[in-house]
Structure 1
Amino acid sequence: MARQIESEAVKIPAKGLIVREPWVSALVDGRKKWELRGSKTAHRGSTAFIAAGSGLVLGEAILVDVVGPLDRDSLSGSKNLHLVDLDWETIALPYRATFAWVFENAVRYHRPIPYIHPRGAVIWVDLSKTAREVLADAGSGKTSVITAKASFLAKSGIR
């Protein structure tokens, strides 16, 4: 199981990965080690997990490797890592080429941290230094989410 840390102590990673439920919860809880994707990524290191459509960062882990492309046998034999319980022998593969993004050392934040979702972001969100400072303030309870968002928008010049 993943450790849980207080939001006040969090230094949010610069990159956030958008993941749908129930997979994002399984990742931050450390039950899911592989996130299946249709491409490789060059990114390695600390990665924040964003619950799709929520405006919240739930936790983080370290992206240590990318494995693939995976075939049916590999997907079938690694259900304990990706948690997708399908009949991989008969079902269509999820992507033309399927890759496993491998995560370790998952952490769930004690309290989810709000962030500003940029228009058009579907896989990655750049949680820039300014945004991370504002997020840390919002997560610590020092300011409200609305105040944090307004502060971020003012600092970044977004209207």
Structure 2
Amino acid sequence: MNIEKALIVDEPWISKILSGAKTWEMRSTSAKQRGWIGLIKKGSGHVVGVAKMTGVDGPLSDQKMIDNSDKHHIPSDIFLAGKFSKHRYAWIMSGAVRLRRPVPYRHKSGAVIWVALDQNVSDALAQDEAVKALA
């Protein structure tokens, strides 16, 4: 498995994704990325997990957000009050696992959502026991 890109995700969302409880990462735009991606805990300097990005749905109506709160974990009173009002695209993920050992990466200037991973980071991810179990 060769993982070349990683998504930056803040707490508490990344922990929910890695636990398998959250399968929709809500964003303000659509995305073309599909397949296995790294998951970076915002501000940590490390790839802490991997997940398979399977698709995108959106923009989602208030009702669709309410109906799928079990997938995105944003309380309805929060998004109905206007917080997360731009975050109406569900980036759909499956198979998320936490790495046995977080892998440091070099954060390139300007990387806010996606990080292109160096080959040595991709190689380290492929060698992680949790990732090997997915193959």
Considering the TM-score relative to the shorter chain, is it more than 0.5? Answer: yes
Measured on the aligned residues, the alpha-carbon RMSD in Å equals 2.4
Q: For 2:74 and 2:8, locate their aligned partners in 1 and report how far apart those are by CA, in whole Å.
A: 18
Equivalent position to 1:60, from 45, 50, 55: 50
Q: Report deviation, 1:76.
A: 1.1
Q: 1:46 aligns with which of 23, 36, 58?
A: 36
Unaligned runs of 5+ in 1: 1-10, 141-159
Picking from 4, 23, 48, the partner of 1:14 is 4
In 2, are the aligned partners of 1:72 and 1:88 still within 8 Å (CA)? no
Q: 1:13–1:65: structure 2 CA closer, same or farther, 3 Å change rule?
A: same
Per-residue CA deviations over 1:19-65 (Å, capped at 9, x if unaligned) read: 00111111112110000000000110001100001001111110001
User: Displacement of 1:13 after TM fit?
Assistant: 1.4
- Of residues 96, 102, 106, the one that matches 2:96 is 106
Partner of 2:64: 74
Residue of structure 1 in register with 2:133 after alignment: none
Gapped regions of structure 2 (runs ≥ 5): 130-135
Quick check: which has more Rg, 1 or 2? Answer: 1
Runs of 4+ in 1 over 6 A off after TM superposition: none
Q: Distance in 1 between matches of 2:26 and 2:79?
A: 17
Mapped to 2, the partners of 1:73 and 1:51 lie a distance apart of: 30
Q: Deviations over 1:104-126 (max 9, x none)?
A: 11111112111111111000000
Letter of the 2:114 counterpart: W
Residues 16 and 49, structure 1, Cα contact 8 Å, conserved in 2: yes
What SS is found at the alignment partner of 1:80?
A: helix
Name the counterpart of 2:76: 86
TM-score, normalized by length of structure 1?
0.72
**Paired residue total:** 129
Distance 1:130 1:89 in 2: 39
For residue 126 of structure 1, what is the amino acid of its counterpart? A
Q: Which moved more, 1:81-90 or 1:40-49?
A: 81-90
Contact kept in structure 2, 1:36 and 1:99, CA below 8 Å: yes
